[in-house]
Structure 1
Amino acid sequence: MPVRRSVRAVVALAAAGVVGLGAAGCSASSVASSPASFSTAAAGLTTVVEGPRIVVGDAAAPHTATVFLDPRCSYCAKFEESGGVALAEAAAAGKVRISYVVASFLDARSGGTASARSANALRASVEAGRFAEFQAAVLASGGAEDPLRVADGVEGLRGAEFDRAVREESYRDWVASAERVFEESGVGGTPTVLLDGREVGVGGALYDEAAFARVLRDAGVSGVPGV
């Protein structure tokens, strides 16, 4: 399916918009790995698996943000360190639940299995209680082929159960179902953010923390931190 954004937008969490980058999205030609620092605003929030999605935040939050990302998408990393921060802070304030759809379509476009392996490891990180921290590390790595090496940098994540799930790809069926959700969504690219089913942050706002915070406020999310 076509990927129409090389610069657009979720997160951890993942959330924001880069002013001046325009409306683009991850494609095979846009994949790059550039390490960056990510907010840990979502660390410690309730994280559960709901079918093919990973959901972060209070179940009673009045809004739901659906974030589509691929671990190999460099623009998803940009979102996480900008707009994603605003989204995570809104979740920490109890205003929004974040529902992550972790796609793996860039494997088919770019070769290898890094996206699927990273998606499997992200699913395993929920059980270890380190999803937000690990997601930031995975995106900063550009979706490394060896998720265990990435996990070394996340305190408290490595352990017998997590390592086994990563090595044996225990969640491969979950990874496939998450990819199907992405393919059937019609969103067209990653990162993409839907707020209560409607796309928000189109263009540069995904990659600018303050701009994305204003997008959330204008879409009806009250009391967004930083606005």
Structure 2
Amino acid sequence: MLGVTAAVALTGCGGSGGSGGGSDDAKARASASSGASADSASDSDSASPSGASGASGVPVPPAPPATGTPKPAPGTLPSRLEPDGTTITVGDPAAPHTISVYEDPRCPVCARFEKANGAKLTALATAGRVRLQYTLASFLDDNFGGGGSKRAVNALRAAVAANRFAPLHALVYARQPEESRDGFTVPFLLQLAGQVPGLRGPAFDAAVRGQTYASFVSGSEHAFVASGVQGTPTVSIDGKRLTGDVLTPAGFEAALKQHGLD
């Protein structure tokens, strides 16, 4: 753990190196076309974040049939992958301000930030005042072992393809397992996705089970390292990193006001 959060001396999660990536959309389409044969393998597993065989948990429901080209659910912000191949934008791409967030799904301080300020970010994006841009790291897998961050980032990328990134992102942090546990298992992620209307289906499930967006995951980690960010969460508005307390609603509101977003 490094003392870096939004570029200030708060307890955050420290970063590490990564390697490159690329587009996975063709792989996703191919995986979806053959994903039905793999569906029976994982649905019998526990959906507990512990991932232990036979542990108690809610069974993952079967995927519903595909419904065609996904559109944002009512009240859900649209999401898209930027041309750089690693930045996920939520909200109107033409919004006048950009709030950039660097996170790792296993980072508990990221969960604190999202729980404290997620509603405010959603309100600003819904009003068209900002676009939210996420760079998703996965270095905590190296720090603590396992692959939970990578699996969660892969699932979040699959949710972009289904235009359901924002609600799954909120659930990932609301239901985040303990950092030291490899809790973001495939069954647990599918269980979370089942709580997002219109997200689960053959394409999404196959992408989560098959780690279809593995090159996005590594590319996103590489972008995190290349950015010079030293820890998570790091937050900037229009390219300027925030300083001060951003882990409480009052502190974040004060930072927004300094940037004309009160």
Name 1:23's counterpart in structure 2.
10
TM-score (norm 2): 0.68
Q: Structure 2: how far apart are the matches of 1:163 and 1:76?
A: 26
Shift of 1:84: 2.8
Q: Quick one: which of 176, 184, 191 aligns to 2:233? A: 191
Please show how residues 103-182 of structure 1 align to structure 2 within 5 Å. 103-142=137-176, 144-146=184-186, 147-182=189-224
Alignment pair present for 1:46 and 2:88: no
Q: Structure 2: how far apart are the matches of 1:156 and 1:210?
A: 34
Shift of 1:120: 0.4
Please show how residues 91-106 of structure 1 align to structure 2 within 5 Å. 91-106=125-140
What secondary structure is seen at the aligned counterpart in 1 of 2:220? Answer: helix
Higher alpha-carbon Rg: 2
TM-score (norm 1): 0.78
Name 1:210's counterpart in structure 2.
250
Q: Could you list the runs of 5+ residues in structure 1 that have no partner in the other structure? A: 10-21, 34-41
Q: Structure 1: how far apart are the matches of 2:124 and 2:175?
A: 25
Contact between 2:88 and 2:135, CA under 8 Å: does it hold in 1?
yes
What secondary structure is seen at the aligned counterpart in 2 of 1:52? Answer: coil
The aligned amino acid for 1:25 is G
Name 2:260's counterpart in structure 1.
220
Name 1:3's counterpart in structure 2.
2
What secondary structure is seen at the aligned counterpart in 2 of 1:81? Answer: helix
Shift of 1:197: 1.0
What secondary structure is seen at the aligned counterpart in 2 of 1:186? Answer: coil
Shift of 1:150: 2.4
Shift of 1:210: 3.3
Contact between 2:159 and 2:199, CA under 8 Å: does it hold in 1?
yes
Contact between 1:4 and 1:188, CA under 8 Å: does it hold in 2?
no
User: CA RMSD of the aligned region, Å?
Assistant: 2.3
What secondary structure is seen at the aligned counterpart in 2 of 1:67? Answer: strand
Shift of 1:27: 4.7
The aligned amino acid for 2:249 is E
What secondary structure is seen at the aligned counterpart in 1 of 2:229? Answer: coil
Q: 1:170 to 1:100 in 2, by over 3 A?
A: same
Shift of 1:83: 2.2
Q: 1:132 to 1:74 in 2, by over 3 A?
A: same
Q: 1:184 to 1:43 in 2, by over 3 A?
A: farther
Q: Could you list the runs of 5+ residues in structure 2 that have no partner in the other structure? A: 16-48, 50-73, 178-183
Identity of aligned residues (%): 44
Q: Structure 1: how far apart are the matches of 2:127 and 2:91?
A: 9
Shift of 1:207: 1.8
Contact between 1:65 and 1:97, CA under 8 Å: does it hold in 2?
yes
Shift of 1:212: 1.2
